Structure 1
């Protein structure tokens, strides 16, 4: 069973919160593939993750944030602040 802070758990949580079945992803994936993702048996490519998130109606970063934080508001805030700092540092180095 995947931990609360994992991509499989976040994917399942997001799917259920949207009221979608695994079959709802038929245009982008098979039910069997969705099941293997939710059980942590396979990992999606970035393109597949984007397709799945389109069906969910969320940005892929939202799903990844949920994966890393389990949805804890304080952890989301801390993660977003960290990402903002890292992006700022990286883009400054590129601009220099």
Structure 2
């Protein structure tokens, strides 16, 4: 999920195995659940975020082709809106550089 704000483009090096399987098989990213898993390990690994995928019989082939050919993540309108909101919110912070000590 770390490539959510990236305009729908999928970067294989950042995708989890689960993400590759679902999206590669034609599912779409349907919902993001903050604190969907509150176990300590889940909080440490993904801040407790859990995502839901939707396998829609009518669009599964097109979604699969979009993912395989264009490396595009197919997302629900709600997730797409969240992505756009995140990009707008993060814009002022892009100029900030991290200083290593």
Shorter chain as denominator, the TM-score bin is: 0.3 to 0.5
Q: Decide which structure has greater helix share.
A: 1
TM-score, with structure 1 as normaliser: 0.33
Higher strand share: 2
- What TM-score does the superposition give when structure 2 sets the normalisation length? 0.32
